[in-house]
Homo-oligomer: A and B are copies of this chain.
Amino acid sequence: MSIVDLRNGLDRDELGQELYGLIAELYPICRSITGEGLRQTLRTIQQYVPLAIHEVPSGTQVFDWTVPREWNIRDASIKNAAGERVVDFQRSNLHVVNYSVPVRRRCSLAELREHLYSLPDHPDWIPYRTSYYHEAWGFCLTHNQLLALKEEEYEVWIDSSLEDGHLTYGELYLPGEQEDEVLISCHACHPSMCNDNLSGVALAALLARHLVSMPLTYSYRFLFIPGTIGSITWLSLNEAQTSRILHGLVLSCLGDPGSMTYKRSRRGTADIDRAAAHVLAHSGMDHQVLDFVPFGYDERQYCSPGFNLPVGCLMRTPHGRYPQYHTSADNLDLIQPDSLADSFLTCLSILSILEDNKTYLSQNPKCEPQLGKRGLYRTMGGIADADRFERAMLWLLNLADGDHTLLDIAERSGLSFDALRTAANVLCQHELLDGRPKPARPMAQN
């Protein structure tokens, strides 16, 4: 079975439910860029695939960065004068600024306010804030909660720890025929948020589970990492192997009801960029393809000038473009099983192009071969137009000169990669085409 067979065989409803279910399971965990929440998330994924869990000690130098101390949290609250928990970590782990240092103290409302974050435009949502690299503490709360606070004395309590420990990440390597790799990367460092974070985690996990038992042309590497510091750490520890990465995708924000978005790699015309653009263009759905910008997710690091890897980012609505982004409203109501399934199938379509993007050589390059005597062409002449299958065969035979990959032919002909792959297989069976893997290491482009 190949990736295209997998894609064609999946039940979309079942797939959506499965992805949604995994997200629901991971949703309550309070993740951060280090700590137990992240470990627990990776252990959950280990139920699906044999993920290796790596622990990198605090203080490790990774390029210009240092692996931070490990942060863990057990509980937190703001109590009013009556002793009521008016802000309660147990109700939402977003209530605490992520990486808050421990605190226990009484303070006035004025003093407290300097540590409070809310969203006046969305008075029922809790914002998500972090302070990884600057020691601080704070609480996030709904704006309505903030407005309800009276002038009285409060007791703030954050039962956290920030101590030497480890940065944790998960890695799964699936060897294929070739050593050249496809990198699939997702960040798993956000607390209870579904679209940003868990949708990518769930897609990567279930994708890995499917691929683990399949014959693959490329080798695949899945990374479940904390954002930014995780990709920097992995790149620092695996620098020598990065040249094997021929194609890569960062997965994020893949469950919302918006249309698909692909953000190109820094190279702009890498195979992954062209494959993703092709799939979206032939999806029959609204979509957008964006040029690379050096902000966003971990593609920032993969595409830094010292690496310049061909890694793009697959999303639905891009980060920051939907109002629920980085708030408590990025919850199980925002994401849709059908959107998740559509994202998953889109991802498979892209990977199937990478896997099957061969270069074909016509065995009859001089004039067309006679398709009719092989039963590949209508016998009755005079009809105005060739049908789609005939057109696919004619395009293949015309461009199978050893210089054009299947994706090149798809782009030039306007036909779908799928239609051309089917026709190519038939022509190979009739020994009219000889398909060879695309030369593995295209020259680096800038």
Chain A residues at the B interface, C-beta cutoff of 8 Å: 62-65, 98, 127-134, 136, 228, 231-232, 235-236, 239, 266, 293-295, 300-301, 303-308, 319-320, 325-326, 362, 364-370, 372-373, 379-386, 390-391, 394-395, 397-401, 403, 413, 446
Contacts and interface: CB of A to CB of B under 8 A. Distances in A.
A394 B129 contact: no
A239 B367 CA distance: 11
Contacts of A446: 401, 403
Contacts of A127: 382
A370 B65 contact: yes
A301 B368 contact: yes
Given A293-B413, A295-B386, 16 more contacts: A62-B367, A63-B364, A128-B382, A129-B381, A131-B380, A133-B372, A134-B380, A232-B368, A266-B398, A294-B398, A295-B385, A295-B390, A304-B397, A305-B401, A306-B362, A326-B383
26 contacts: A62-B367, A63-B364, A63-B367, A64-B367, A64-B369, A64-B370, A98-B381, A98-B382, A127-B382, A129-B380, A130-B380, A130-B382, A133-B373, A134-B380, A136-B380, A231-B367, A235-B366, A236-B367, A304-B366, A304-B367, A305-B365, A305-B398, A305-B400, A306-B362, A326-B382, A401-B446
Contacts of A306: 362, 364-367
A247 B394 CA distance: 23
Contacts of A366: 63, 235-236, 239, 304, 306-307
Given A306-B367, A368-B304, A381 B131 contact: yes
A379 B231 contact: no
Contact of A320 (B364, B368, B385): B385
A231 B368 CA distance: 11
Contacts of A133: 370, 372-373, 379
A117 B379 CA distance: 14
Contacts of A383: 129, 326
Given A304-B366, A365-B305, A368-B301, A382 B129 contact: yes
B362 A305 contact: yes
A266 B394 CA distance: 13
A233 B367 CA distance: 10
Contacts of A128: 382
Contact of A379 (B134, B373, B380): B134
Contacts of A293: 391, 395, 413
A322 to B, nearest CB: 10
A320 B64 contact: no
Contacts of A400: 305
Contacts of A294: 368, 394-395, 397-398
